[in-house]
Amino acid sequence: MRGFAGFLRQDLDAVTAGLTLESSSGIAEGHVNRAKALKRAMYRRASFELLRTRILAQP
């Protein structure tokens, strides 16, 4: 726990901004998570072009 607290203290400005600002990167993180899940599911099963098509075709 001390190590984690020390890590947070190193970047206290970013931690404070993340907890106080109204903006959020949640939508972008959701898209990244979806792309990574597709990539893992298609690993060694399909070509890059099919992966690209599936990522771009998603809403």
User: Is 45 part of a structural domain of the chain?
Assistant: yes
Tell me which long-range contacts 51-56 makes (C-beta under 8 A, separation of at least 24).
none
| CB neighbours of residue 55 within 10 Å | 14
User: Is 3 part of a structural domain of the chain?
Assistant: no
User: Is 4 part of a structural domain of the chain?
Assistant: no
| CB neighbours of residue 50 within 10 Å | 11
What local confidence, expressed as pLDDT, does residue 59 receive? 65
User: Is 44 part of a structural domain of the chain?
Assistant: yes
- The per-residue pLDDT string of the chain (59 residues; one tens digit each, 9 = 90 and over) reads 888 888 888 989 988 888 898 887 888 889 899 999 989 988 888 898 998 888 888 76
Domain hosting 29: range is 24-59
pTM: 0.53
What local confidence, expressed as pLDDT, does residue 58 receive? 73
User: Is 38 part of a structural domain of the chain?
Assistant: yes
Number of domains in the chain: 1
Q: List the structure tokens of 48.
A: 């890059």
User: Is 33 part of a structural domain of the chain?
Assistant: yes
User: Is 15 part of a structural domain of the chain?
Assistant: no
CB 51 within 8 A of CB 39: yes
